[in-house]
Amino acid sequence: MKNKIVLGLLFIIFLSTFLCCEKETINKSNSYYLTDSTKDIVKKDTSKIKKRKPPLGKIIESLPTEEKVIALTFDACEYKKPSYFDYTILNFIIKEKIPVTIFVSGRFALRNKDELSKISKYEFIEIENHSLSHFNHSELLNESDFVNEVKENENIIKEITGKKTKYFRFPGGNYDNKSLNILKSLNYPVIHWSFVSGDFSKKITPRKLYERVIKNVKSGSILIFHINGRGYSTGEALPLIYNFLKENNFKFVKLEDIFE
């Protein structure tokens, strides 16, 4: 009887230890980027890249350089439903210390305030402006409302990260001359993408996403993906894309590494 009790107690202790370890592993996996340590913060050597002044009142779709560099950019936005960072993508970026630019909307920033504050401390992560509410048709807004979309988000991101945004990306890529001119008056260059990755579609598989990127990418490309849970195959495809580009001697840069 005593032996059974002892064995039972030993089993309970073992099970409790296992579950604690398992829980700890899961938590570490999901919050890789939440570390307050600055050991992993590194500076990429971009000193040889000549910076250019970005044009105002135009849509920038590629990097103005002949060097074999690309800009890896992500949209982190929220429109109708709550959105959160895709940990698979974010953890991979931080693990590999890949220079990236993330365009963040105000609603997303407020919902992911703590996470955004922490990742903004990494030297290789740049945070930029993707409007306040991610209304997909900026061209339909009057001047006052559109200015508020830009400036209010600028204030939110600055309060969270301590840094002022420098570049803007239209939600849905929709704009008109009026909205472009407003951004020009606000001294905001507009940076879009070289080609659509299509990662927002549930129909695109990781393999198809990978093939689309490697088929279209070239020196100076600005790549676009989603890091808000709407890049359905991006988490699985990103390591394949990254390894291909790295093996083909592409250098990753943030937008601020290229533009003044």
Strand-pairing partners, residue 252, are: 70
Check residue 82 and give its pLDDT.
Answer: 94
Check residue 260 and give its pLDDT.
Answer: 83
Check residue 66 and give its pLDDT.
Answer: 84
Check residue 36 and give its pLDDT.
Answer: 44
Identify the CATH assignment for 54-258 out of 3.20.20.370, 3.50.30.30, 3.40.605.10, 1.10.3720.10.
Answer: 3.20.20.370
Which of 26-30, 71-75, 107-111, 234-238 is the least confident region? 26-30
Does residue 123 carry a pLDDT above 50? Answer: yes
Check residue 240 and give its pLDDT.
Answer: 98
Check residue 259 and give its pLDDT.
Answer: 95
**Where are the chain's structural domains?**
1-31, 54-258
Answer yes or no: are the C-beta atoms of 254 and 71 closer than 8 Å: yes
User: How far is 68 from 48, CA to CA, in rounded Å?
Assistant: 12
Sign of CA dihedral 117, 85, 60, 236: positive
Tens of pLDDT along 157-168?
A: 999 999 999 999
* Cut 0.75: pTM above it: yes
Check residue 165 and give its pLDDT.
Answer: 98
Average pLDDT over residues 182-203: 97
Answer yes or no: are the C-beta atoms of 190 and 170 closer than 8 Å: yes
Q: Which pair of tokens denotes residue 68?
A: 């074999």
Tens of pLDDT along 82-94?
A: 999 999 999 999 9
Does residue 23 carry a pLDDT above 70? Answer: no
49 pLDDT tier (thresholds 50, 70, 90) = confident
Average pLDDT over residues 214-239: 97
Check residue 26 and give its pLDDT.
Answer: 26
Check residue 45 and give its pLDDT.
Answer: 52
Does residue 54 carry a pLDDT above 70? Answer: yes
User: How far is 163 from 166, CA to CA, in rounded Å?
Assistant: 9
Average pLDDT over residues 3-23: 42
**Secondary-structure percent of the chain, ordered helix, strand, coil, rounded to 5:** 45, 15, 40
Tens of pLDDT along 133-191?
A: 999 899 999 999 999 999 999 999 999 999 999 999 999 999 999 999 999 999 999 99
Mean pLDDT of the chain: 86
Does residue 47 carry a pLDDT above 60? Answer: no
* More confident site: 98 or 34: 98
Check residue 126 and give its pLDDT.
Answer: 98
